[in-house]
Homo-oligomer: A and B are copies of this chain.
Amino acid sequence: MITEYSAEELKSLLDKLMAEYEKCKALNLKLDMSRGKPSPIQLNINNDLLGEIDSYITENGADTRNYGLLDGIPEMKRLFSELLDIEQDKIIIGGNSSLNLMYDNFMRLYVFGTQGNTPWGRLDNYKFLCPCPGYDRHFAVSEEFGAEMINVPMTENGPDMDVVEKLVAEDPTIKGIWCVPLHSNPLGVCYSDETVERLASMKTAAPDFRIFWDNAYGVHHIYEDVELADIFKAAEKYGNEDRIYYFFSTSKITFPGAGVSMVASSKANIAEIKKHMTIQTIGHDKINQIRHVQYFKTAENLKAHMKKHAASLRPKFDIVLNTLDKELKDTGLATWNPVKGGYFVAVDTYPGCAKATVAMAKEAGVVMTGAGATYPYKKDPEDKNIRIAPSYPSEEELQQAMNLFCLCVKITGIKKLLEEK
């Protein structure tokens, strides 16, 4: 444990590591581990989607080239329905961005309110629960609409439900929570059945408390297939079916730049969304929907397809996890999460070292996600969480980047230990 070293020992190790760091800098690296985006090799898996379309007529005889079918073509709804086990009439098909569906959904709650409740934007103040570390773009949406964001700690089973239940039971101005229930960004946490049940059943002081269920990595298993409990079924059991907005997209199944997204909710909520949607848009790209359906045909094929992505991602996650193990295990300077799928590994540095680590890595040509980005207002209270996104770089690049990253974690940790002596 480096944390148990004497000042002498720390100084001596620091000198050695700094020399290594200077050598690394001389390599003039230009590497990027900041973004959860698929690699060109993953994208190539889908190139048949760029080919000719078979037919532009839907199974109910509609022409996907023309106006109509505001909420999506039936076969696209069915594909998502079978894949995620959600009734078809609870589904609305979106464009290529599920983030856009979340933003629009948040906006409607803010401007119009839901099921007769006061619009959130008409309240003096309101709050939103943000399990963290989490996804920066979620937090940005709630910040955009003026919600006060409340940090909720994460456990290995999801948000700390004791904290969540207490907060929502007492405070009617708490209006919702962000959830990434499988392979969460960035922790890779998969919500346990108990967590899902408690989220669906808990008593909330706000009648319009809403769960933004962003199942972004719902079929994105890498090391292990994980089953997610059915939140709709659980919510219905407790009469809370209006509580759930379920989001999904093919961004990391087919193409981030040209996928198909989905929002699902109770029938009452879907009717409400459609009422506004019919004013907002003529409906989303239906040719791209039929293109996706013709490409996958069945949910089974889509799941099989995800094995190809997993095979492409697994060696990269191996590099990240093995390098962390080799360089940082038992140093006392870092911990990280176990990973079963998704796009990220989250590392906790020695407290107070995340910003410095990211800055050092950047100086040597390795771009990481900004420290703090995984917390509301970009404020990591302990300045320790760093998100690693292994998907985009090549394996060779990734190995170089990880070597440097671990070096930076050690150097900044040792510097902090010396400060504390």
Contacts and interface: CB of A to CB of B under 8 A. Distances in A.
A132 B264 CA distance: 38
A59 to B, nearest CB: 16
A391 to B, nearest CB: 11
A242 to B, nearest CB: 21
B56 A50 contact: yes
Contacts of A104: 280
A230 B233 CA distance: 57
A66 B43 contact: yes
Most chain-B Cβ atoms within 10 A of its Cβ — which of A43, A56, A287?
A287
B279 A141 contact: yes
B50 A50 contact: no
A284 interface: yes
A103 B66 CA distance: 21
Contacts of A68: 257
Nearest to A43: B65
A255 B362 CA distance: 45
A288 interface: yes
B281 A100 contact: yes
A60 to B, nearest CB: 14
B287 A285 contact: no
Q: Which secondary structure dominates chain A's binding surface?
A: loop
Contact of A95 (B40, B52, B276, B284): B284
A51 interface: yes
A67 B256 contact: yes
A279 to B, nearest CB: 5
Interface in A221-258: 251, 255-258
B35 A258 contact: no
Interface in A9-61: 35, 37-38, 40, 43, 46, 50-53, 56
Interface in A270-286: 276, 279-286
Q: How many copies of this chain are found per oligomer?
A: 2
A345 B394 CA distance: 59
A390 to B, nearest CB: 16
Interface in A135-186: 137, 140-141, 144-145
A96 B280 CA distance: 12
Contacts of A137: 279
A4 to B, nearest CB: 43
A256 B283 CA distance: 9
A201 interface: no
Most chain-B Cβ atoms within 10 A of its Cβ — which of A46, A64, A258?
A258
A153 B255 CA distance: 48
A383 interface: no
30 contacts: A35-B67, A38-B66, A46-B65, A50-B52, A50-B53, A50-B287, A64-B257, A65-B256, A65-B257, A66-B255, A67-B256, A95-B285, A96-B285, A97-B283, A99-B282, A103-B281, A107-B111, A110-B111, A111-B111, A111-B145, A141-B279, A144-B279, A251-B282, A255-B287, A256-B282, A257-B283, A257-B286, A285-B285, A285-B288, A288-B288
